[in-house]
Amino acid sequence: MRDHLANMLNAAKASFDEWARENARFCDLKRARFDLPGGYPYGERHMQSIYLLRYYAAYLAETCMLFEELSENGLQFPVITSFGCGSLLDAKAAQYVFDGVYRYRGYDIHDWHLKGVALGDGCEFWQGDLFLARDFPDTTNVFHFPRSVGDLGERMNELSGSLLASRLHSDIIYVTATCRNDIEYDFEKLVAFGNLLTGYSLDIWIRRSGLDIVNFFGRNGRNGIAQKYSWFNAVNDAEAVSFCSGMVEKCEQSSYINCPLPDCREYVSRWPTLTLGELSYVALKYKRD
Ligand SMILES: C[S@@+](CC[C@H](N)C(=O)[O-])C[C@H]1O[C@@H](n2cnc3c(N)ncnc32)[C@H](O)[C@@H]1O
């Protein structure tokens, strides 16, 4: 896992460098945020690279924690349908937590140029608008929203037809999400999704937000994750932190007189998400009636 993380971050950095060779100014990175109309520009390669540099390590660790809880809850062979899968980091987390015993199909409008796992061997990618999918794999026992409820939550009801057409085999279905920043919102939307599972009722739910996890692992900050997952230290090998946080300086070196503009430091040199306090996830467990 350590090699995987270092390789992934180094690949993201190399890919970002390709863009940087053609673009001396980094002002464009001010679009790399979630609160602009139209949302984060996920379809653009350099925006994917910078997203991975900032968030991949933390979201991978977060997803491992979520899947470990499912494993502790008795799930042995996850068949995951992932909505808004992006780089497939959740497939990598499943591979890690369940020792390679898993199946996975990720849905995303964009085919991200870097992926956490190779396709094949039970790991599939379906490119397109998931609201247009006719059905989902009938063996699914985990419907996962990897940091994607914010993008998809308002349209949950539109999934009712494709869910009904899926004729699910499993008597137990987990509906899970890693959450961006409003766990209440994500929780409510997951319940709305769960209500679309006809013939199933909510059995239990698990909810972890930053504070719970910090308490559990004892320390805030990077050491919190690294205490649990030593491979997390590979973030240092890849120098992702200093690379991202030093972005404005690299841009300044290109000698534009009026830079940096006041908001550059906030939006261009954004630090990777490395503190446990920002991680959270939800899992709802449904049982067939
Ligand atoms: C916040 S990103 C999450 C990426 C990745 N799962 C992660 O955890 O890093 C949300 C993803 O949802 C995808 N998405 C948004 N609307 C979609 C739709 N209607 N159908 C399929 N994918 C969609 C975006 O392309 C983007 O990759």
Does 28 or 211 have the greater pLDDT score? 28
Side-chain-facing half-sphere of 162: CA atoms under 13 Å: 19
Taking the C-alpha atoms of residue 176 and residue 202, their distance in angstroms, rounded to an integer, is: 13
Other CB atoms within a 10 A radius of the CB of residue 137 amount to 17
CB-ligand 1 contact for 84 (6 Å cutoff): yes
d(CA 86, ligand 1 centre) in Å: 6
Average pLDDT over residues 171-188: 93
What backbone torsions phi and psi does residue 258 show, to the nearest 5 degrees?
-90, 10
Q: What's the gap in Å between 138 CA and the centre of ligand 1?
A: 22
User: Rounded CA gap, 34 and 53, in Å?
Assistant: 16
Closest atom, ligand 1, to C-alpha of 152: 16
Q: What is the pTM of this model?
A: 0.94
Q: Which atom of ligand 1 is nearest to the CA of 129?
A: 20
Predicted confidence at residue 216, as pLDDT, reads: 59
Q: Is the CB of 153 under 6 A from ligand 1?
A: no
Identity of the amino acid at 100: G
pLDDT at 106: 98
Kindly report, residue by residue over 199-239, the tens digit of the pLDDT.
999 999 999 887 666 655 544 444 567 778 889 888 877 78
Ligand 1 centre distance from Cα of residue 241 (Å)? 24
85 lines ligand 1 (CB under 6 A): yes
78-82, 86-90, 161-165, 278-282: range with lowest mean pLDDT: 278-282
The pLDDT of residue 242 is 85
% the chain with pLDDT above 90: 66
Give the best-scoring range by mean pLDDT among 31-45, 91-105, 236-250, 274-288: 91-105
| 3-24 residue pLDDT tens | 999 999 999 999 999 999 888 7
What was the pLDDT predicted at 176?
Answer: 98
Helix/strand/coil for 134: coil
The residue ranges of every structural domain in the chain are 2-57+220-276, 69-215+277-288
According to DSSP, residue 34 is labeled S
Among candidate residues 134, 139, 196, 130, the one with its CA nearest the CA of residue 167: 139
- Using the mean position of ligand 1's atoms as its centre, give its distance from the Cα of residue 279 in Å: 18
State how far the Cα of 31 lies from the Cα of 38, in Å rounded to an integer.
Answer: 10
Which amino acid would we find at residue 139?
A: T
Question: DSSP per residue over 162-219, as a string?
Answer: HHHTT----SEEEEEEE-SS-HHHHHHHHHHHHTTSTTEEEEEEEEE-HHHHHHHHS-
| Residue range 92-108, pLDDT digits in tens | 999 999 999 999 999 99
Q: Does 3.40.50.150 match the CATH number of domain 69-215+277-288?
A: yes
Measured torsion, CA atoms of residues 251, 254, 255, 258, in degrees rounded to the nearest 10: -40
Interatomic CA distance for residues 47 and 41, integer angstroms:
6
Residue 276 has a pLDDT of 66
What distance in Å separates the CA atoms of residue 57 and residue 43, rounded to the nearest whole number? 20
